[in-house]
Structure 1
Amino acid sequence: MERGKLYNELKPLLLSLAYHTLGSISEAEDIVHDVFLSWEEKPPQQVRDVKAYLCKMVHNRSVDYIRSPRRNRETYVGPWLPEPIDTTYIQGNDPMESVVWKETLSTAGLLLLQQLSATERIVFLLHEVFHYRFDEIAEIVDKSTVNCRQIFRRAKKSIGQLPERSPEVKEKKTALAERFAEALMTGNIELLVELLSSETVLYQDGGGKVKAALRPIIGSDRIIRFFIGVAPEFPPGYRCETCEINGMPGIRFVIGEMTFAVITFQYLQDQLSNVYVVMNPDKLSHFNRMK
């Protein structure tokens, strides 16, 4: 198969793998681009299994990036959150990407993934999300099959059970997201009280680029006061839309055609246990380009 066709076929998989490892779609795009450029320089006969080779290259580049000084998050201003991905758009426009991205991890899952080592992330993703066999994973990460099984069990124990995504569950979570959007748009305090609990935590990622809370806000009372306080600062004419973000129901704040904030949630029965707000424009640039 010619390389251009292989590129189009494998790019969604490699991009998704790098994104889930790094939590950044822009960084993932850079890595996948560099990997393909390196692959094009190699004679075809030197690469027996192109898919495994490119996955291995993405893994190695991702590990190098994680360990690089520019990846240091100690200097990041405020809470760090992963870049949001509008999976509604992906599923509606490219069947090949839809297959790859349909199992994308939620914001909460991506944050848990960031607590693992780079190798644990890759092994977990390849087996749990992309359904690779352990012997295939062993070739990619240069570990034995037995070792890969052990790494996966350790990662699985840290991550826990991924959220259920049955149509019934997603419908229920969509209803909660819609009610939250309604409460914000109308200033319905009573509805916010129903949706939040004393243990709900709000994380806001402005990256030092826009005004945002520098620490997590804990408890429904404080979160409600926060939203009441920032509401007058929203741009005139904005609208609040529910959509699918990272495979789960979420909200985007839009002025014109530009998204200036994205909210995702961790759901717990009939309430929202965590609220994640991304306002860093760098993390929304790709979100806007997809429109």
Structure 2
Amino acid sequence: MQESFYRSLLTYSYNIVGSLEDARDLVQDTMEKYIGLDKSTIQNERSYLIKSVINLSINFKKRSEKFSKYGIWLPEPIATEETDAHLIKRQVANYSLLVLFEELNPKERAVFMLKESFNYKHDEIAKVLDISVENSRKLYSRSKKHLAQTEIKKDLPPKNCMAPYIDALMEGDTDKLETLFADDIALMADGGHTVKVVTRITEGKERTAELMQYVYAMFLNGKECVFNYINHQPALWFKNNGKVISCMVFQFDNEKKFKNIYSIVDPDKLNSLYLRNEGFNGNKIDKLLSSLNPN
């Protein structure tokens, strides 16, 4: 029960802050403070902890200004097809939404996430965020309007959806690549503070095809290529000696053309792809969990 509840808290926080590492820290901070509290006035411990984590995550997001020295800041990728990712898979926001969440203020982001991912009603959201029901409705309407052009369904495309793309890369066929791309395709790259990227954002299918072919020929040719689902979207990992050096997440439009490509080469963000098998036992979280009994 405790581990399941921890996963739930972690998922709330991750959807708000977009970083698994920060979400872990925020959940741990919440649990440590909770253990030292006088609980005689807390009627529902579970609701109290959920509310605390969500509001702490909102405040953290307000204070933090995420940026990458090289490229554009992108959320930390999560392999949602792995059962041991420490998150509630079905409630993790898809990657395209997480990217667009960065354009919302933290409270709008939280309202949308609670409504869409966790099926909260507006009166429940109002209690968690200490706002009125009317304000919750307005924040949800505003965020939903902003995100209206983004697909929020989690119907996974088949694994062979990337085969034409991989073939075109290996053949060095930029014309073939262009046929796979939407006219308004955009490529966003995040190198963090250590890995230089060719460009932050590239738009248009001709420029994107040329850049993807260049990156593949210069840096990825000969590397192990693995298909996976990242935040409910198809993705390719490129590995060198077993280590993930690049993760590309793909968004399709309604015509099954590539609409957005998110390229993450920041080693710190790729770390989460190695930590899927990390256990709870023997760490600080495990000790904190053993002392909790949320009703």
1:192 aligns with 2:192: no
Match of 1:122 in 2: 110
Whether the aligned pair in 2 keeps the contact of 1:18 and 1:31 (CA below 8 Å) is: yes
Match of 1:284 in 2: 270
Alignment of 1:53-72 (within 5 A): 53-68=48-63, 71-72=64-65
**TM-aligned CA deviation for residue 76 of structure 1:** 4.2
Equivalent residue in structure 1 for 2:73, among 59, 76, 80: 80
Q: Which residue identity is paired with 2:73?
A: W
Return the alpha-carbon distance in structure 2 between the equivalents of residues 139 and 76 of structure 1. Answer: 39
Kindly tell me: are residues 227 and 74 of structure 1, through their superposed partners in 2, closer, same or farther at Cα, counting changes over 3 Å? closer
Kindly tell me: are residues 74 and 25 of structure 1, through their superposed partners in 2, closer, same or farther at Cα, counting changes over 3 Å? closer
Whether the aligned pair in 2 keeps the contact of 1:78 and 1:208 (CA below 8 Å) is: no
Alignment of 1:2-151 (within 5 A): 5-6=1-2, 8-68=3-63, 71-73=64-66, 76-90=69-83, 93=84, 97=87, 100-151=88-139
Kindly tell me: are residues 38 and 182 of structure 1, through their superposed partners in 2, closer, same or farther at Cα, counting changes over 3 Å? farther
Gaps of 5+ in 1: none
**TM-aligned CA deviation for residue 286 of structure 1:** 1.3
Moved more, 213-222 or 265-274: 213-222
For 2:157, what is the secondary structure of its paired residue?
Answer: helix
Gaps of 5+ in 2: 278-295
Whether the aligned pair in 1 keeps the contact of 2:233 and 2:251 (CA below 8 Å) is: no
Count matched residues. 275
What root-mean-square deviation, in Å, do the aligned CA atoms of Structure 1 and Structure 2 show?
Answer: 2.3
Q: Which residue identity is paired with 2:245?
A: F
Return the alpha-carbon distance in structure 1 between the equivalents of residues 147 and 184 of structure 2. Answer: 21
Equivalent residue in structure 2 for 1:165, among 148, 154, 161: 154
**TM-aligned CA deviation for residue 109 of structure 1:** 0.7
For 2:184, what is the secondary structure of its paired residue?
Answer: coil
Return the alpha-carbon distance in structure 1 between the equivalents of residues 191 and 145 of structure 2. Answer: 31
Kindly tell me: are residues 78 and 171 of structure 1, through their superposed partners in 2, closer, same or farther at Cα, counting changes over 3 Å? closer
**TM-aligned CA deviation for residue 261 of structure 1:** 0.8
Quick one: percent identity of the two aligned structures? 28
Match of 1:241 in 2: 226
**TM-aligned CA deviation for residue 9 of structure 1:** 2.5
**TM-aligned CA deviation for residue 28 of structure 1:** 0.8
Report the TM-score when normalising by structure 1.
0.85
Return the alpha-carbon distance in structure 1 between the equivalents of residues 20 and 194 of structure 2. Answer: 18
| Cα displacement string for residues 37-78 of structure 1 (whole angstroms, at most 9, x for unaligned residues) | 11111233232222221122112222222232xx22467432
Which structure carries more helix by proportion?
Answer: 1
Give the ranges of 4+ consecutive aligned residues of structure 1 lying more than 4 Å apart after TM superposition: none
| Cα displacement string for residues 86-106 of structure 1 (whole angstroms, at most 9, x for unaligned residues) | 01113xx48x95xx3214222
For 2:22, what is the secondary structure of its paired residue?
Answer: helix
**TM-aligned CA deviation for residue 32 of structure 1:** 0.7
Whether the aligned pair in 1 keeps the contact of 2:92 and 2:231 (CA below 8 Å) is: yes
Report the TM-score when normalising by structure 2.
0.84
Whether the aligned pair in 2 keeps the contact of 1:262 and 1:277 (CA below 8 Å) is: yes
Q: Which has the higher contact order (CA 8 A, sep 6+)?
A: 2
